[in-house]
Amino acid sequence: MKFYQEITLIAQAEISPYFIWSKLYAQLHIGLAEIKDINEKVNVGVSFPKYMYEPNDELKKAKVHLGDKLRIFAQSAADLEKLNISKWLDRLTDYLHITSIREIPEAKVTGYATYSRKQIKTNAERLARHRVKRGDIGFDEALARYSNVVTTTNLPYIQMKSLTSDKSFKLFIEKKSTEQSETQVFSTYGLSSVSSVPEF
């Protein structure tokens, strides 16, 4: 990755940063979907420079948040120009500050990380209903099977709304420190479990 843009949430007295994150990310997702390839992938990735995830233990409360900054990365300035994030975030200008496209300051890079979507199986009844549709087992048996696979997490997340079904869901985001990756392939959320972005 050679170029980036940084988006900073402007603190609002009357509006929660979670609400702004939700609106920002919905628009980013639409913008990235517009430039996806035939495999539903994009060459633009994101990072959350102030991401914090310290799970709780008996002694201290969990520290979990995305912070107030989002960086959007691409190999070329042309890729970021094609995304044209300012167009997608035009209605949010009172709540966000967007920088111009800049070169990554190589001397300040401290490492690399992946930011990936962590999907959580949270509803045994929904999973059981889905399984029953196959027609091979009944609801009670399916519920018994799925009640032990339900998982939870307290990872940072962004509240999203599906554009196809209009249902709300939590986009859980997991950060892992890693080496610089050869691949630069991301989802239409700008996330990837294998393609890394620079930290600085």
21 falls within a domain: yes
Q: What is the pLDDT along the chain (200 residues), one digit of tens a residue?
A: 999 999 999 998 889 999 999 999 999 999 999 999 998 899 999 999 999 998 776 666 778 889 999 999 999 999 999 999 999 999 999 999 999 999 999 999 999 999 999 887 656 666 667 777 877 788 777 767 666 665 567 789 999 988 777 788 889 999 999 999 988 999 999 999 999 999 99
Is 190 within the bounds of a domain?
A: yes
The answer to whether position 141 is within a domain reads: no
Give the pair of three-digit tokens for residue 115. 């930011």
- Confirm whether 166 is domain-assigned: yes
Domain that holds residue 22: 3-118+153-199
Domain count, the chain: 1
Q: Is residue 133 one of the residues assigned to a domain?
A: no
Helix or strand holding residue 111 (H, E): strand 111-117
Q: What pTM was computed for the model?
A: 0.82
94: in domain: yes
CATH classification at residue 52? 3.30.70.2540
Is residue 4 within 8 Å of residue 76, measured between CB atoms? Answer: no
**Residue 125 included in any domain:** no
| The pairing of beta strand 3-9 with beta strand 102-103 | antiparallel
